[in-house]
Amino acid sequence: MSQTYEHLAVSGLEQLGLKTALNQLDQASQRAAAENWSYTHFLGYLLEGELRERQRKTIETILRFANMPYLKRLNEFDFTAQPGLDRRLIDELATGRFLHEGRNIIFLGPPGVGKTHLALSLGVMTAEMGHRIYFTTAMDLARRLTKAVDENRLHRQINVLTQPKLLVIDEMGYLTLDATQAGLLFQVICKRYEKGHSLVLTSNKPFGEWAQLFGGDAVMASAALDRLLHRATVINIRGASFRLKEKRQAGLENTETLSLVPKPTIPNGKIE
């Protein structure tokens, strides 16, 4: 009878697709006998390994389709190089609460201060929580939406961009959008606002210059900011560029370049 049940256990795990539990079955059975485990302890041990492996595969799949150029984590960020950055605020974001609140995160500051690193880190964190995430630059997004218009599939494309729990739009303001591109980006912002799904944006431009980003349309820029800032945390990074720091360490710094780095004026903090 016991052999029948042993065969059933193996067959059942195979049919249910519990490959990790199946691979651990013999070793777990031996430990259970040696350590006098209860039946529930034994079952829990098998399921723990199975669930852990499934979670790993889920995260791997999410990151595969997230379009991230590379992976970064918050524990890799050099906070000592940006002493003005509120570490407690970043730690609060790391809890993922902003995702459940539908809160947007906006990183402002000059090039090279770590905005993209922080945005990517929040993306990885979101994936590790089991949520879908998609990363894009503002210009790539605009080109993608323009192509969708040309191919008569804009509605479907906007729905695709609305579904992920988190959409990261990097480099807002590095290149100016034309009127058509600005209108398409505005549609994405509106749809995600209606869904209550979070956005993470990085920009080198203060909000007062965002009309230029939206093809010179101040009304559209104001409407976009109204939605973005309704539930948002704005983080202004005023420190020096990491890239300039590396050049300085290598003895290649151009001191004139440092004087040209703009200083954003938007304060840190949470806007509700």
Domains, the chain, in order of start with CATH, read 2-61 (no CATH), 65-271 (3.40.50.300)
pLDDT at 266: 43
Which residues, including other chains, have CB under 8 Å from residue 103's CB and lie 6 or more apart? Answer: 97, 198, 231, 232, 233
Q: Provide the pLDDT for residue 246.
A: 58
Q: Which helix (H) or strand (E) holds 109?
A: none
**pTM for the structure as a whole:** 0.81
Residue 177: left (phi > 0), alpha (psi -120 to 50), or beta?
beta
pLDDT of residue 250: 58
- Looking at residue 9, its pLDDT comes to 82
Strand 166-172 vs strand 198-203: parallel, antiparallel, or unpaired?
parallel
Alpha helices in the chain (DSSP H): 2-15, 19-34, 39-64, 87-93, 97-101, 115-128, 138-150, 154-162, 179-195, 210-213, 218-228, 242-249, 255-260
Per-residue pLDDT of the chain (272 residues; tens, 9 = 90+): 455 778 888 888 888 888 888 888 899 889 989 999 998 998 898 889 889 999 999 999 999 999 999 999 999 999 998 999 999 999 999 999 999 999 999 999 999 999 999 999 999 999 999 999 999 999 999 999 999 999 999 999 999 999 999 999 999 988 889 999 999 999 999 999 999 999 999 999 999 999 989 989 999 999 999 999 999 999 999 877 765 565 555 565 554 444 444 444 444 554 44
